[in-house]
Amino acid sequence: MSSAPRTARAVAREQLTRAILDSAGTQLAEVGPAALSVRAVARDLGMASSAVYRYFRSRDALLTALIVEAYDDLGGRVEEGAASVPPDDLRARWGVVAHVVRDWARSQPHRYALVYGSPVPGYAAPEDTVAPARRVTQPMLELLRDAQRAGLRPAGPTDVPAEEEAGLTPVLESVEPPLSPAWGVAGLTAWATLFGHVSLELFGHMHNAVLDQDTHFACVVDRTAHDLGLA
Amino acid sequence: MSSAPRTARAVAREQLTRAILDSAGTQLAEVGPAALSVRAVARDLGMASSAVYRYFRSRDALLTALIVEAYDDLGGRVEEGAASVPPDDLRARWGVVAHVVRDWARSQPHRYALVYGSPVPGYAAPEDTVAPARRVTQPMLELLRDAQRAGLRPAGPTDVPAEEEAGLTPVLESVEPPLSPAWGVAGLTAWATLFGHVSLELFGHMHNAVLDQDTHFACVVDRTAHDLGLA
DNA sequence: TGTACATCAGTGAACGCGCGTTCACTGATGTAC
DNA sequence: TGTACATCAGTGAACGCGCGTTCACTGATGTAC
């Protein structure tokens, strides 16, 4: 149980767990989450289907692991991206975060669809997925907090009804010092724009409308930056 | 073949076609599009599974019919909503359109997911779905055109790069007179915000963030209205 | 109006395939004395 | 260090179930003379 000298069994277990997740990830890209099959994974790895149950308690547990992995992967990249620009260049930070999300989604469309697309029927995501999911949004919230701290103000109306202010409590208090209601609404709107754009593009709704997706996305990011008062 | 005196066969065919679509719609809500099953529909209607093939050439054809029906249903409601307010009250029109989309999505989440959620793996939507899909967006484009005509201007930056202007051609020219590039970018951004918000809410990403969904949506609609220069 | 023929809806069996999960079991790896 | 025992990974058969699609066929409905 000590840390350094891994036992042969533990090493094998770790490797096979990875191999199962990788194979399942490939599956996912081909048949989608609803058709993800324990037997197909086992077949792919040349083992009995029952053996997979030594590693994942059920098909749903395997799906949960894939979801957590996807959030962690994207979350890690967003964190890295946010940290890669000068802390006080908020416009650049927003641009990097937005482009990281879109680039990741485009390079791994099935993983994006797994976490931000339609829910998988009959599957209820357990609590384990909540914390990884937050890794993606937390850097955005910190960006808003820093903008507020810097004395910036979002564009547009700044008067938020009391009812809304109360309803936003979880968002507003997810950073220290807490966000003002106006920043909360502006941030949630920008969040909807970003993920809305990526979903529409990835799911094929822009195909007949916009010819140059990269250029258009840059414009949308610019617009949202203005809306957030960052430029 | 004359119009009034329908033959008994034609009447029966129409009714059974409807019954199949209704049953498939129920299926959809329970197991999702990927698991939609011709045999289950047949079982539900008490007929042989092979009989369904007299009505739909394949499972995919059935899925296509459901998609077309969903777009037509939502599109019709959006059209009605847009027509239900005074033509020159553009702020009200945007509000109605936005709320129609969200209300429809919340009341029929599986149908919303079918058309705006993750693509169904292995299914490629045929050309037949393009026109119905446009029914949803066309009233929004006409709203933008009317705003432009009325001399309004979207908030934020109005200088659009030439590259983007060229890429937006399909959108800009989908109404008469065509939209300016600034209106195109603003409109596409608002579109992304609207559908992004609805997807995030419906797919469970707001659950831990926002307590009062109705109030928050009203705030987002208000923000986008300002962003479009409508209020 | 009645009859002969063509069209169409629906059947049931069949093809070839898939799935998640459990269970008793074998044989290898790890651990404690 | 060597041995006895416990733990664990992996097997293969089984349970009970599902699927899309095709095909030859029956019997009812529609049509043309």
- Give, as ranges, the nucleotides of chain C with any atom within 7 Å of a protein CB: 8-14, 18-24, 29-31
Is 70 exceeded by the pLDDT of residue B1?
no
Q: CA(A37)–C1'(C19) in Å?
A: 8
What pLDDT score does A4 carry? 46
What pLDDT score does B154 carry? 98
Q: Which residues of chain A does B156 touch, with a Cβ-Cβ cutoff of 8 Å? A: 155, 223, 226-227
What pLDDT score does B5 carry? 59
Give me the amino acid identity at B87: P
Q: Which residues of chain A does B171 touch, with a Cβ-Cβ cutoff of 8 Å? A: 209-210
Q: Which residues of chain B does A158 touch, with a Cβ-Cβ cutoff of 8 Å? A: none
Q: What is the DSSP letter of B230?
A: -
Candidate from A133, A199, A218 with C-beta closest to B199: A199
Cα A70–chain centre separation: 7
Q: Which of A130, A140, A219, A220 has its CA nearest to residue A186?
A: A140
In this complex, do A212 and B155 lie within 8 Å of one another by their Cβ atoms?
no
Is 90 exceeded by the pLDDT of residue A5?
no
Average pLDDT over residues A193-218: 98
- How big is the CA angle at B195 (ends B77 and A98), to the nearest 5 degrees? 165
Q: Which of B74, B73, B56, B52 has its CA nearest to residue B65?
A: B56
What pLDDT score does B231 carry? 87
| Cα–Cα dist A202/A212, whole Å | 14
Is 70 exceeded by the pLDDT of residue B3?
no
Q: For the segment B74-98, what is each residue's pLDDT rounded down to a tens digit?
A: 999 999 999 999 999 999 999 999 9
Q: Which of B65, B165, B120 has its CA nearest to residue A32?
A: B120
What pLDDT score does B2 carry? 36
- How many interchain CB pairs under 8 A, A with B? 190
Is 60 exceeded by the pLDDT of residue B168?
yes
What pLDDT score does B151 carry? 98
What pLDDT score does B4 carry? 46
Is 60 exceeded by the pLDDT of residue A133?
yes
What pLDDT score does B6 carry? 81
Q: For the segment A36-72, what is each residue's pLDDT rounded down to a tens digit?
A: 999 999 999 999 999 999 999 999 999 999 999 999 9
A30: which 2 tokens? Answer: 């081909």
* Dihedral sign of CA atoms B217, B219, B221, B224 in order: negative
Contact B169, B110 (CB under 8 A): no
Average pLDDT over residues A76-100: 98
Q: At what angle do helices A90-107 and A213-227 cross, to 10 degrees?
A: 140
Contact A35, A45 (CB under 8 A): no
A230 dihedral zone (left: phi>0; alpha: psi -120 to 50; beta):
alpha
Average pLDDT over residues A126-149: 98
* Ordered DSSP codes for B56-125: -SSHHHHHHHHHHHHHHHHHHHHHHHHHTS-TT-HHHHHHHHHHHHHHHHHHSHHHHHHHHSSPPTT---
How far the first Cα of chain A sits from its last, in Å, is 54
Average pLDDT over residues B161-175: 98
Q: For the segment B26-66, what is each residue's pLDDT rounded down to a tens digit?
A: 999 999 999 999 999 999 999 999 999 999 999 999 999 99
In this complex, do B212 and A164 lie within 8 Å of one another by their Cβ atoms?
yes
What pLDDT score does A6 carry? 81
| Cα–Cα dist A73/A78, whole Å | 9
Evaluate if pTM is beyond 0.75: yes
Candidate from B125, B192, B222 with C-beta closest to A200: B192
Average pLDDT over residues A104-112: 98
Q: Is the peptide bond before A109 cis (omega within 30 degrees of 0)?
A: no
Cα B154–chain centre separation: 24
Buried b (16+ CB within 10 A) or exposed e, B157-178: eeebeeebbebbeebbebbeeb
In this complex, do A197 and B196 lie within 8 Å of one another by their Cβ atoms?
yes
Burial of A83 (0-12, 13-18, 19+ CB in 10 A): exposed
Is 80 exceeded by the pLDDT of residue A209?
yes
CA distance B121 to chain A (A): 5
Q: Which residues of chain A does B126 touch, with a Cβ-Cβ cutoff of 8 Å? A: none
Q: For the segment B99-112, what is each residue's pLDDT rounded down to a tens digit?
A: 999 999 999 999 99
What pLDDT score does A3 carry? 45
Q: How many CA atoms lie within 13 A of B40 on its CB side?
A: 17
Q: CA(A67)–C1'(D16) in Å?
A: 30
Q: Which of B202, B38, B71, B36 has its CA nearest to residue A32?
A: B36
Give me the amino acid identity at B190: A
